[in-house]
Amino acid sequence: MMSPMDMSGRKVLVTGAAGGIGRAACTYLAALGATVIAADRDDAVETTRDDLRTAGGSAECITFNVADKGAVEAAAAKVGEIDGIFANAGISYERPALEHSEADWRTVMSVNLDGVFWTVQAFGRQMIARGRGSVVMTASIAGVKAVRPELHVGYDVSKAGVAHMCKVLAAEWARSGVRVNAVGPGYTDTAMLAEVGRTQPAVMRQWMDDTPVGRLIKPEEIASAVALLLSNAASGITGHLLMVDGGYSIA
Ligand SMILES: NC(=O)c1ccc[n+]([C@@H]2O[C@H](COP(=O)([O-])OP(=O)(O)OC[C@H]3O[C@@H](n4cnc5c(N)ncnc54)[C@H](O)[C@@H]3O)[C@@H](O)[C@H]2O)c1
């Protein structure tokens, strides 16, 4: 018997695939049998592809900037038909609201919000045409709650936008056979947080104390939720934001 989470014969695009969560998702999806298209603006995505192949998985890689609509469309044309999208590339930073420059605001929105939309629009077009597919976007605890102590209103609003985009697209595309969901990571052990761990151990302590499970989330724990939502095991789920945060958002 085949598991409903089996991804054999499915081609899935993962953006941010050179980073912690994206790379873990690529590994998880390849282990389920998917052919993974690992995408990032960083050439280090070649390492993700090579490691997947070394482990016996099926993988390709492509570099493009998700904030550049033309580049995303060119990548979609090059990749062709796919069955799943994990729109995950994102950036963070720390800045009090009154110190936000126009460039700070535009930069985070262009990657975290625009970049997700351009990716889903360009790669989703052929899913709609074929009448099947599954999309997962990366939101955040910061999109549903005022996180502490770090300050990054632009990041928070970009992630709230992703969470709402998920619902709106899910409703628009439901009758086309394309499901759209999102994951909401809590504080996750990736490069995005590593610098804080090195330089501000008290902040790291606070994050873990504020998380009911008392620890950081592992990238693999986000990856398994992404795989579930992309797979047939979630065939009845669309428009859902699945928090993978060790309880942070309910505490
Ligand atoms: N780590 C956390 O605690 C945490 C918590 C909540 C949400 N998230 C979200 O999870 C996602 C992945 O984050 P991560 O923790 O793996 O971080 P990461 O920094 O390890 O990985 C992010 C990846 O995105 C890529 N990227 C950034 N801008 C890009 C662009 N314009 N075009 C293409 N690729 C681009 C980077 O090169 C990097 O490889 C992000 O959207 C982030 O906001 C992370």
pLDDT digits (tens, 9 = 90+) for 193-244: 888 888 899 999 999 999 999 999 999 999 999 999 999 999 999 999 999 9
Closest Cα partner for 186 from 217, 210, 150?
217
Q: Where are the domains of the chain?
A: 11-188+220-241
- Number of Cβ within 10 Å of residue 78's Cβ equals 10
Instruction: Quickly state the pLDDT bin for 88 (edges 50, 70, 90).
Output: very high
Label residue 97 by pLDDT band (50, 70, 90). Answer: very high
Of 4, 1, 33, 2, nearest in space to 231 by CA: 4
pTM of the model: 0.98
Atom of ligand 1 nearest to the CA of 23: 16
The preferred substitution site among 190, 204, 207, 249 for testing ligand 1, maximizing ligand atoms within 8 Å of CB, is 190
| Per-residue CA distances from 83 to 86, 113, 123 (Å) | 11, 22, 9
- Going from the Cα of 89 to the center of ligand 1, the distance in angstroms, rounded, reads 5
Question: Is the pLDDT score of 81 beyond 90?
Answer: yes
Whether residue 248 lies in the annotated active site: no
User: From CA 205, how far away is CA 216, in angstroms rounded?
Assistant: 10
| pLDDT per position as a tens digit, 9-31 | 999 999 999 999 999 999 999 99
Question: Regarding the domain with residue range 11-188+220-241, which homologous superfamily does it belong to in the CATH classification?
Answer: NAD(P)-binding Rossmann-like Domain (3.40.50.720)
Residue type, 117: F
Q: How far apart are CA 177 and CA 69, in angstroms?
A: 25
Judged by DSSP in three states, 92 sits in coil
Residues 6+ apart with CB under 8 A from 186: 141, 211, 216, 217, 243, 244, 245, 246, 248, 249
Nearest-atom index, ligand 1, CA of 66: 32
